[in-house]
Chain A
Amino acid sequence: MNGSMKQEILFKMKSPYRDDFKIQGFRFGEGEKSVAIVGAMRGDEIQQQFTCSQVVKNLIELEKEGLILPGHEILVIPSANHFSMNINKRFWAMDNTDINRMFPGYDKGETTQRIAAALFEEVCGFKYGIQLASFYLPGEFIPHVRMMDTGFQNVKLAKKFGLPYVLIRKPRPYDTAVLNYNWQIFDTQAFSIYSGDTNTINKESAKVAWLSILRFLNSMKIIKKNIHDGFNSFVLSDVDLETVKSNQAGILYSMNSARDEVKKGDLLAKILDPFTGIVRSEIYSPVEGTIFFSHNHPLIHQNTVMYRIVKF
């Protein structure tokens, strides 16, 4: 018999005048540390917070029905930065530092280093780690699992989320301080789930994300849930993506978005003169494929990534 879900305060810190800052964890089951799931680490990751809350909701229901399988512990942390979310800031409310550039953290260091250290101590040692991640630029993605090529990644496992794509990418210099990288270095199989949106709630793409997590847990025999198999994920790396950049700046009139299939020569977008409305540039697809990422801000800078297309 599984124990019932425990809602715990994993980290608490006083603020000079605001309410206490608390990181809350929702712990399900007992036994092997099977999976840790982390939601919003930035204040604009509302979709990530929402998705994680739906994972918690589903796990509560599964637990009531005895469908969290014995011998597994699941820890879900929906929010690690609501001090910023509550005041519409992206990074840490006081000094604008990014918690997801502070891992593995330092418990005697600066505030966000301490938060990262406390968070990492809680989520370290799990067999699998799942982060609901966001991209640093405005745009929309096809839902996918992202892994870093650290030499420890397991692509077969990533496909069990049943999302359309698994993207393997080479770590960049800043990646050594992010959660995903440090999880892998400390022997956790780490996956970042990109549902497509960030500072808004898209119920459809959020559902794709939370169902993918439940599918993974089901596949790994951590929970028992009737769920379809999802996609036979296509595995790609950065070189498989064709980048389309803006050759002008202006108002972006986009005709295509993530998930759209396009042919070579299709008109993807127009860039308009912001004063006269005259078309400055028409952007055509250089390849046949599926749009993996699309810039979705109405203004566009010159020489900016507008689309990334998975080539057929």
Chain B
Amino acid sequence: MIKTIISEGLPVDEQLLIRKKVIQNGNSPKRICIVTGTHGDELEGQYVCFELIRRLNEDIRFLDGTVEVYPALNPLGVDSVTRGIPTFDLDMNRIFPGDPNGHLIEHTAFEIIQDLRGADMVIDIHASNIFLREMPQARINVQMSKKLIPYANLLNIDFIWIHDAATVLKSTLAHSLNVIKTPTIVVEMGIGMRMSRDYGNRLVDGIFNMMKKKKMWTGTISKDICKPILSTTGEVCYMNADASGIIIPSVSHSVDVKKGDLLCQIVDPFEGLVLQNVLSPVDGVVFTLRTYPVVYEGSLIARIFSKNTQIDNGENQ
């Protein structure tokens, strides 16, 4: 069954529709929600929605509870290759928890929160942006970590990144839901404007694994569930560009690197000059890597997780 959460008129002959697919079987009151498409250029979640629903449809008898899938919280953005909310140029993941008396988009954000409120688990799937490729990972506020880490461990991802309270953005969907005691895990994976079947299948396997542990799924699950690295067992090291220019990569995403390894060069194509050799400051795994070649000073190039170092960081979720 497809349910419409929001239906509001657009100026000319069109409705703004936000819809969810509801799949229910058995008697359990348990409900998990899969949400994605908040940023219109993040598409990795589309495959997850498709594959999750396909598998559930195939073996619905093994489901005991309700799975709700929201493939596009920002349908105007997804359908027009726009990261933010078209016409307003706003980042939808910066307007939560919304306002019932506010503008259409604030009202919409409020209604989305009300619809998700009370779920036993919400998985909020993101796909980085068009600049950076991300290893499949969960991002969790330290204040929620005790409750959420056991579930994130089930999701067949590579990494769990625990964020300090000071760096958590309070206007996100995930934060707003966690505040009202609706447990929500942000999953980041892949890269904007692209879709990876491999990453998608892994997360779908993880979601079934989580449903099994929650006693919502009695069917088979993958035996090959990855145990993620927890960020608190080491440090996250940020590599930002010191120079503006063009990046020529020297390593691939998700590889292990040694201290001193060349990650990439920032070059000046005009002069044929290397402006910066970006070297890894630590031994670790490259879990974020820039793929978009043009950089300004400060542009994020990579994030490396190292088990052995103490590094001063201060970045946001």
Contacts and interface: CB of A to CB of B under 8 A. Distances in A.
Interface of A: 13-17, 90-91, 94-96, 98, 101, 106, 108-114, 136-137, 172-174, 176-177, 243, 248-251, 274-275, 299-305
A172 B171 contact: yes
Contacts of A176: 170
A303 B107 contact: yes
Q: Is the interface of A mostly helix, strand, loop or mixed?
A: loop
B12 A274 contact: yes
Sorting the interface of chain B by its residue count into under 10, 10 to 19, 20 to 34 or 35 or more gives 35 or more
Interface of B: 8-13, 16, 83-84, 88-91, 94-97, 101-104, 107, 129, 131, 169-171, 175-176, 238, 240, 243-246, 268, 270, 294-300, 314-315
Contact of B89 (A90, A108, A112): A90
B300 A110 contact: yes
B104 A304 contact: yes
9 contacts: A90-B89, A95-B131, A98-B91, A109-B238, A109-B298, A109-B315, A110-B240, A112-B298, A137-B103
B168 to A, nearest CB: 10
Contacts of B94: 101, 174
A136 B90 contact: yes
Contacts of A275: 12-13
A300 B11 contact: yes
B103 A304 contact: yes
A249 B11 contact: yes
B233 to A, nearest CB: 23
A3 B244 CA distance: 36
Contacts of A304: 103-104
Contacts of B83: 96
A112 B103 CA distance: 27
Contact of B11 (A98, A177, A301): A301
A250 B170 CA distance: 34
A173 B243 CA distance: 33
A167 to B, nearest CB: 15
B114 to A, nearest CB: 15
A301 B9 contact: yes
Given A15-B244, A16-B245, A91-B89, A301 B8 contact: yes
Contacts of A111: 296-299
B176 to A, nearest CB: 8
A133 to B, nearest CB: 16
